[in-house]
Amino acid sequence: MAGGIGTMVMLMVLTSWPPVRLLSFDPDKASKGGSVLDHLPAHIRPLAIDLPGGGVPMRADWSPGGDRLVFLDAPIGDVWEYDLDSGVARNLTEAFLPGGVLRAHHLTNGDLVLCAPLQRNRQDPEGDRFAGRLWVLSAPLGSRAPVGLDAPCWEGIAVSKQPGSTRIAWNEASIDFTAVPQVFGEALFGESRIFTGRIVYDHAGRPALVDRRVVVDKTDVGVITPAVEAQDFRRIDDGDPNVDDELIFSAYFHNGGQVMGVDLDTGAITDYAPASHFYEEAEGIDPAGRYVLVERDLAIVLFPGELDIWRLALDGSGSFERLTTFNHYAGYGATNPVVSPDGNSIAFQLEKADSEHGQGHGLLLFDLAR
């Protein structure tokens, strides 16, 4: 880990509990009362999706055509598909994965890559967040059971959005952020690596994972960086026929939390916000590769508070543009943004302070063209 502030924060993480707010640089945070949903600007609208059994839409992903979203109904829940034109939602996985799903992302061929536990652990249900396995749910979605890819997955998955590519990236790690106090030792001495591979299909259409290789180890970023997480592939117009040139990833607690990129040809790592010491977690990338959406908190903290969505240029300038001010309303934030295939819209989720980090409380659309 580079930088004195980052080292200080990491050391305090390992010696303090519960989390403590150190220093805020956003004087308007939590300065307003009421619900942010009552004060939305014209370019942001909530999606009216009613789910049975108290389910709440969260963690959206766009279909290749941009006309549908898939999402979860709980942090470990069923996968649903929502048609943006008709407003109809249907459950895709309840008949196949009773243990729930952690992540769901489209391949460009219409299949879904899932991260899901084999079954729930009754003794440690929260720890199931970090005990997923990779699966493929083949199109037409919901018509047949997913196929396992014989690989573990930890937190997020990256899936190429380039036509014809079936490249994915996933994380394998020993750290479980819900396990205290073991998490502190794992943060320093545990394993965290990012793999890439390709999904191929046999003559019967059955998927398999090939060409597995490690592209980032947490020690490639810093000697006490606790974890790295894949976020999205990026194409760079460099004359190389490879359509997946760079993998954008997050390095947790590196200088507070950094947006990084690894060149998939050379292995060179780029820090895209080297001057920032705030919490920043990479999320959806612009289809043209110009920027990445970032969850950000303008505070020096041990763990982030309510977050907002920013746009970070990937031109090396480290330039941020704030897109939402949800956390100016006490108890609210905006997280998990993903950009539509045409680059004109963002789907994201509402965050509330009274729930676990990463849990959503409904989906919204941000019109970038307005």
Q: In what order do the strands lie in the sheet with 112-116?
A: 103-106, 112-116, 132-137, 147-153
| Residue whose C-alpha is closest to residue 260's, from 202, 304, 220 | 220
The pLDDT assigned to 22 comes to: 55
| Residue whose C-alpha is closest to residue 294's, from 251, 328, 239 | 251
d(CA 5, CA 42): 39
Q: Which two tokens stand for residue 229?
A: 């997480």
CB 291 within 8 A of CB 312: yes
d(CA 348, CA 362): 8
The pLDDT assigned to 239 comes to: 77
Tell me which residue has tokens 């303090």.
Answer: 16
d(CA 125, CA 128): 5
Cα atoms in the Cβ-side hemisphere of radius 13 Å centred on 265: 11
CB 352 within 8 A of CB 361: yes
Q: Which domains does the chain possess?
A: 4-367 (2.120.10.30)
CB atoms within 10 A of CB 109: 14
The pLDDT assigned to 124 comes to: 64
| Residue whose C-alpha is closest to residue 332's, from 356, 308, 311, 309 | 308
Q: Please, where are the H alpha helices in the chain?
A: 4-13, 182-189, 218-221
d(CA 133, CA 146): 11
The pLDDT assigned to 125 comes to: 59
Tell me which residue has tokens 């080297």.
Answer: 274
167: which DSSP letter? Answer: E
Q: Which two tokens stand for residue 28?
A: 């308007």
d(CA 316, CA 253): 20
Look up the pTM and report it: 0.91
Q: Which two tokens stand for residue 97?
A: 């994965």
Contacts of 328 (CB under 8 A, 6+ apart): 28, 29, 30, 31, 32, 36
The pLDDT assigned to 211 comes to: 97
d(CA 302, CA 22): 8
d(CA 334, CA 307): 6
Block means of pLDDT (10 residues each) for the chain, length 370 residues? 35 40 82 97 97 94 98 96 97 94 97 91 70 95 96 95 96 82 80 97 97 96 90 88 93 85 96 91 95 92 84 96 97 97 97 84 95
